[in-house]
Amino acid sequence: LVGSLGKQLQILNSMESYFKKIVEKLTAFPDPENPYGELEKLQMLYALETISYNLLTAFVILFIPFLIDTFQETLLLFCIFGTLRIIAGGFHFDHILKCITATSFIIITEGKASQIIQISLPVCLLLCLITNLLFFIHIPRGTENNPYSESYSQLQIKRLRFLSVFLTFFAVCFAQIRTIVLFAMLTVAIFLVPDLYRRFR
């Protein structure tokens, strides 16, 4: 088991190095009409790295469910989770490999579980109340590398509250997708707990 995990980490590290090399080559192309300096190059490097890692994560998250016949559930859950996560932010891992591994495991597991578990309306209402409470008191601030301005933070608060109420309506009214919606909301809410703990400590 240890050897297998070590081999998987080696593969992920190799993939990360491979992506970095591709990104560095892309940013090395000169643009005669719009020459850019070192700061712009670093910004491009960061943007391309973020895009490549997100594409890799999305591929892993959607490929495995395709093999285990949970593609539709996982796709819907991933879309809801991703939208909420972009707006709300919350806890982030300190390494891209941890992020890919944890996010993939959580979404794939919840996608499979949503085929088995059916959440009743009373439990749904209780979970919606908890998640809405967290979403309504949370203030999205972005990340250390990409902090939000005060005005953008206020905009994200409005978006998060609207989306939270909108998803609650769907969870209450449509039993077929209730579990998927609640799993997505709960996962994002859990990622907010460390931020809220630091804020109210």
Sequence-distant (≥ 6) Cβ neighbours of residue 26 within 8 angstroms: 44, 48
C-alpha span between 180 and 120 (Å, rounded): 13
Between residues 186 and 12, the one the model is more confident about: 186
Q: Burial code of 75-89, b = ≥16 C-beta within 10 A, e = fewer?
A: bbbbebbbebbebbb
C-alpha span between 130 and 63 (Å, rounded): 32
| CA atoms within 13 Å, Cβ hemisphere of 96 | 18
User: Does pLDDT of 1 surpass 50?
Assistant: no
Condensed to tens digits (0 to 9), the pLDDT of residues 57-87 reads: 788 788 888 888 889 999 999 999 999 998 9
For residues 96-125, average pLDDT? 89
User: Does pLDDT of 159 surpass 90?
Assistant: yes
Q: For residue 191, what is the enclosing H or E element?
A: helix 175-200
What pLDDT sits at residue 16?
61
C-alpha span between 46 and 40 (Å, rounded): 10
For residues 98-122, average pLDDT? 89
C-alpha span between 186 and 107 (Å, rounded): 12
Nearest Cα to Cα of residue 58 among 73, 43, 39, 78? 78
Q: How confident is the model at residue 93 (pLDDT cuts 50, 70, 90)?
A: confident
DSSP category for residue 149: P
Condensed to tens digits (0 to 9), the pLDDT of residues 165-200 reads: 999 999 999 999 999 999 999 999 999 988 888 877
Nearest Cα to Cα of residue 192 among 113, 110, 84? 84
Between residues 15 and 146, the one the model is more confident about: 146
Dig out the tokens for 38 from the structure: 């070192």
Indicate the SS3 state at residue 147.
Answer: strand
Q: CA torsion angle for 44, 47, 49, 52 (degrees, to 10)?
A: -120
What pLDDT sits at residue 2?
45
Phi-psi region of 90 (alpha: psi -120 to 50; beta: other; left: phi over 0): left
| 182, 127 contact by CB (below 8 A) | yes
What pLDDT sits at residue 80?
95
Say what the pTM is: 0.76
What pLDDT sits at residue 83?
92
Output Rg (C-alpha) for the chain, integer angstroms: 19
